[in-house]
Structure 1
Amino acid sequence: MNQFTSRCGEEHPYTLEDLGWTDEHDAAFSKYAGPYLPGRVACRQKTVWDVLVDGGSVTAGISGALRKLGRFPAVGDFVVLLHQPEAGTTVIVDILPQKTCFARGTPGRDGADQVIAANIDTVFIVTAAGHDLNARRIERYLAIAHASGARPVIVINKSDLADDPATLADEIASVSPDIPIIPISAASGEGVDRLAPYLAPRTTVALIGSSGVGKSTLINRLMGSPVQETSHTRDYDDKGRHTTTVRHLFILAGGALMIDNPGIREVGIGTASAGIADTFPEILELAEGCRFSDCRHEEEPGCAVRAAVAAGILPAARLESFRRLMRELAFEEEKAEIGLVRLEKKRWKAIGKIQRDIGKTKER
């Protein structure tokens, strides 16, 4: 078995199963034979992809068919490789079905959402004690995490810098019912062992959160060596600069896999309609008592949700956050619809050109 160098600089003989390959992937890959290999995307570098295969790694381009469709493999994707060693080429020719994913709000050329990270079991929503510990921001991340299909876990980093670390979870518990909240210090290692139940071998965890909250520091802690550049945050507002610019799939010492995301802002809420429902279950339950089924909970008469706010049952800030995300969702959906209309026009324009070319050929 060949070996390849992991991000931590040591050689390890990983099998496909170590990378999260399952019987479902076997079934999807069964139609391929001969020079085809299965693999998992570890990183994208502009026009080439680093792909982990059974016992090694390869650098691959993508087929013209995938490129024309605008189907670009994402980090975490399981893919089909056409490996031709005599020609010195390896090409990704297909992407196997994804069980979960993060996607941009804007559609690709085939009208589908553009996936940026795939096949995730758990999402660590990483925030930090201080200015970043914001309930409204966490609600947005929860909506995105729920929409991905993965299980969300809130990780409060830099807990050692808080005046009272024991109360950190209480500050955001009201916006995340039934979601695990784990205060840690990635720098010192305090509390990191509490993440172990979510880091089982062959499972994949993705990190999302603002810049400067310590995602790279957490990966370095879990890897046992500095594989990611880290940066300091500004004292006056706790903001940091982006140190991660490319997504990577890391293989942790305990056998779990982790995807670091350089920025979650590009993941539009337009893909998270179901996630909003999961993030605000009490509002949807209250809405069943509204007079109108399409009530927006703004100025409509007989609104049970606004009545709950007036009665002190539902916090006003919670309703305002729901409204804000719903407005953003409506905007993203309208933008995506305009994009699809333009896409359809381009398709028919191309079809018309082909038909004209065929007509000219027949006339000759």
Structure 2
Amino acid sequence: MNQSTPRCGEKHPYTLEDLGWTDEHEKAFSKYAGPYLPGRVACRQKTVWDILVDGGSVTAGISGALRKLGRFPAVGDFVVLLHQPEAGTSMIVDILPQKTRFARGSTGRGGSDQVIAANIDTVFIVTAAGHDLNARRIERFLAIAHASGACPVIVINKSDLADDPATLADEIASASSGIPVIPISAVSGEGVDRLDPYLPPRTTIALIGSSGVGKSTLINRLMGRPVQETSHTRDYDDKGRHTTTVRQLFVLDGGALMIDNPGLREVGIGAASAGIADTFPEILELAEGCRFSDCRHEEEPGCAVRAAVADGTLPAARLGSFHRLVQELAFERDKAEIGLVRLEKKRWKAIGKIQRDIGKTKGR
């Protein structure tokens, strides 16, 4: 674990309530009696997890049952530990229900969603003044954030490098209707206090954004000390390397909990179908006036959305972004279905081989 959080086996002053434990978690845990402890996942270290418990921390693996089911705890999950200190072992045997689930679409063959973090209250979408300040990229992050059930906040870092910091929010206004947009400088600290209303005690915030936008620098600023490695960005494209390589939960001095994430090289939209409506609310509202309920807002007659583009009410770029994300979602769904078909074919091929081997054995 990072030096900013209690090392495994060390004591800390936090109670489960400080870590975000609620009555719902208590109710879910009440069925366990005996040598079981609740805790919250702070970090994953390859095949083991660092868990914060009441007043301390432990390292634990997961049970064979969870592994067989493919249920792997994410950072932020509340889990049930089979705690046997006399034997010096702890094992995660269950994952308690998740309030929210932040995921991104996998770019792998299976197309399944990858959980990034769980039980998040707010998502800070961190971008930066310069090349990274792109409304289309922010729309992708917003769709995924909305789908998680958490509340998004857009943080524009490196605002001190902009020619006119006051106009930064205007550059992404088309993508951020109704979403708080806060320009800051994590290096100088300018504007960082404007994040305070979103950092109350016992709430959990996840940071996402491209590499090089200053997420680690922001963590260091909020923690009041250097706890994350940072790196310089390249001058020609403002990009940086991934200095954060694991997801980790930090406890801020004010009592909020924050999860840092490695920069996302490829943000799939596969997890975000439920978030598209919240990302493009004006398009969904206009769509109620379309002649056909299944209108795709392309070439159909009587499309109220395209009519709004024609009369200038809706920016054409906004509709273009909507189409791109919907098409990408459809592609990833098709990819996932193809992956499942391939897996099913492999399964039946394996079953057939086993049956043939059994037949050969019987014939001997």
Question: TM-score, structure 1 length as denominator?
Answer: 0.91
SS at match of 1:270: coil
**1:36/1:112 Cα in 2 relative to 1: closer, same or farther (>3 Å)?**
farther
* SS in structure 1 of the partner of residue 270 of structure 2: helix
Partner of 1:69: 69
| Partner residue, 1:233 | 233
Alignment of 1:1-364 (within 5 A): 6-7=4-5, 12-106=12-106, 113-265=113-265, 267-343=267-343
Q: Secondary structure at the match of 2:185?
A: coil
Is residue 100–residue 148 contact of structure 1 (8 Å, CA) maintained in 2?
Answer: yes
**TM-superposed deviation, 1:69:** 1.0
Moved over 4 A (4+): 8-11, 110-113, 342-362
Per-residue deviation, 1:107: 11
What is the distance in 2 between the residues matched to 1:214 and 1:200?
22
Consecutive unaligned residues of structure 1, counting only runs of 5 or more, are none
Mean Cα deviation higher: 141-150 or 289-298: 289-298
Instruction: Tell me the distance in 2 between the aligned counterparts of 1:313 and 1:140.
Output: 22
Identity over aligned residues, as a percent? Answer: 89
Bigger mean CA deviation after superposition, 288-297 or 68-77: 288-297
- TM-score, structure 2 length as denominator? 0.91
Q: Deviation per CA, 1:8-63, whole angstroms, max 9, x where unpaired?
A: 89973111111100110000000111111100000011111111111111111011
Q: Say if 1:331 and 1:157 are closer, same or farther in 2 by CA, change over 3 A.
A: same
How far off its partner does 1:344 sit?
Answer: 5.0
For each residue in 1:217-237, what CA deviation from the matched residue of structure 2 results, as whole angstroms up to 9, or x when unmatched? 000000111110111111121
Runs (5+) with no aligned partner, structure 2: none
**Size of the alignment, in residue pairs?**
360
Aligned-pair distance for 1:331? 1.0
Contact 2:211 2:264 in 1 (8 A): no
Displacement after TM superposition at 1:186 (Å)? 0.5
Supply the distance in 2 between the matched residues of 1:13 and 1:285 (Cα, whole angstroms). 49
Paired with 1:352 and 1:65, the residues of 2 have a C-alpha distance of 27
Provide the rounded CA distance (Å) in 1 between the counterparts of 2:284 and 2:143: 14
CA-to-partner distance for each residue in 1:57-104, whole Å, 9 max, x for gaps?
111101111111111100000001111122221111110000111124
2-structure distance, mates of 1:63, 1:347: 25
Cα distance change on mapping 1:162 and 1:6 into 2, 3 Å: closer
Residues 334 and 168 (structure 1), Cα distance of their counterparts in 2 relative to 1, 3 Å cut: same
| Structure 2 contact 159–184 (Cα < 8 Å) conserved | yes
The answer to whether the 8 Å contact 2:107/2:268 transfers is: no
1:318, distance to aligned residue in structure 2 (A): 0.5
